[in-house]
Structure 1
Amino acid sequence: MRANPKILIAGGVFAAALLGGFALYGTGRNLGNLMGLGPTGPCAEAAPTAARLAPLARGAVAAFEAWPAPKPAPALAFKGPDGAPTELSALDGKLRLVNLWATWCAPCKAEMPALDRLQADLGGDRFQVVAINVETRNLDKPPAWFKANGITGLTYYGDPEGKVLPALQSAAGSTGLPTTALVDAKGCMLGVMKGPAEWSGEEGKRLIRAALGEGA
């Protein structure tokens, strides 16, 4: 049986268009999406976790944006409580709630006790709240504020060089404070919260437990 020339031509056109699209966009993610295969790339394995989080973004954490296609978190370098350099990747192996805050940001200060309670309730070998102060002046003020307001569960992190704020906000698509990103144990961003939230409430804990693969 001879092949229909029209079918061969149509098939060739489709293949050329498919290859052209791949060359244009240049990533496996786009090719996978085009063929209905779902997200691919370095954070493809995180997509099912992000999908579990989407319906749990309600109540106190309704503004949390779970990403259908998680992506690698930026390489963040900052200072530890002793002033020594450290990096977000030093905490790989843990789910991390990375929060950017400042003492001149009223909503940041308002949500800090909830983040402290969340760390006290769920923090440990598998999860940590990573609150990074982004102030570049009067560097004694933020840790003093921690102490004066009874923030005892959180490790104090600071970025006096001012590099973390633009890096994370660019990756998160956020322009204000607080900005909070949920980063899995392998360094993939599962989603972002633009603005404050009552993280220690039941909705917040349910979201974190789901990201850890635990039941409500």
Structure 2
Amino acid sequence: MRANPKFLIAGGLAAALLGGLALYGTGSNLGNLVGVAPSGPCAQAAPVAARIAPHARGSVAAFEAWPTPRPAPALSFKGPDGAPSDLSALGSKLLLVNLWATWCAPCKAEMPALDRLQAELGGDRFQVVAINVETRNLDKPPAWFKTNAIAHLTYYGDPEGKVLPALQSAAGSTGLPTTMLIDAKGCVLGVMKGPAEWSGEEGKGLIRAALGQGA
């Protein structure tokens, strides 16, 4: 589902942040009811979500840490060689899963920041997973990566259009970009609805907190 173009404000990350925030409703997270004790398969992730919540500030203030984490949706997509892949194929690591499209100005504005975040913190314990959700003109997104010097992110695509509705339903999101933070055991720690300066100090601090590395 494409976001309304009138809300996609071009030019600069600051303008994109304003445009991106206009795309979203508040959604709902039934697991985040006050007074509900963490339980189920992701109960062990609750302390991590609580630890990162204070780091949702500044440029990542819109990040919603989930007091009651839940299993991430099953997402299947294509790797850079066109072969089928999914989140489990990426190994047991913290994943920042970002949905984007070339027709989404806020998505393109935040992509360099995601690329820098991957360059600085990516490795055996953490990876940025940017999944393009376009189903037509499939040569355009990887070409945009190259033209804009996005060098540290692996290109993933979803030409079948299944990832977008699955992740947005789980996140309670209605627009792009949508970004979900998933721990090494496949539990959702929180969601960002809209763009962010992920390579800024606040963004890196949030990821480091999730990794247990402190502020």
TM class by smaller structure: 0.7 to 0.9
**Unaligned 5+ runs, structure 2:** 1-29
1:154 — aligned with what?
153
1:183 — aligned with what?
182
Change (3 A) 1:52 1:137: same
Distance 1:142 1:134 in 2: 9
Computing the radius of gyration from Cα coordinates, the structure with the larger value is 1
User: Segments of 4+ in structure 1 off by > 3 A?
Assistant: none
Count of residues in Structure 1 that have an aligned counterpart in Structure 2: 185
Shift of 1:186: 0.4
1:136 — aligned with what?
135
Higher mean alpha-carbon deviation, 84-93 vs 160-169, is at: 84-93
The question of whether the paired residues in 2 share the 8 Å contact of 1:100 and 1:180 is answered with yes
Distance 2:128 2:141 in 1: 17
The question of whether the paired residues in 2 share the 8 Å contact of 1:72 and 1:189 is answered with yes
Distance 1:115 1:37 in 2: 34
Structure richer in helix, relative to its length: 1
1:75 — aligned with what?
74
1:40 — aligned with what?
39
What is the correspondence of 1:85-100 to structure 2 with a 5 Å cutoff?
Answer: 85-100=84-99
Letter in 1 for 2:42: C
Letter in 2 for 1:145: W
TM-score calculated relative to the size of structure 1: 0.83
Shift of 1:91: 2.0
Give % identity: 84
Distance 2:143 2:66 in 1: 36
What is the correspondence of 1:102-113 to structure 2 with a 5 Å cutoff?
Answer: 102-113=101-112
TM-score calculated relative to the size of structure 2: 0.83
Shift of 1:112: 0.1
1:50 — aligned with what?
49
Shift of 1:37: 7.6
Change (3 A) 1:37 1:195: closer
- RCO comparison, higher one (Cα < 8 Å, 6+): 2
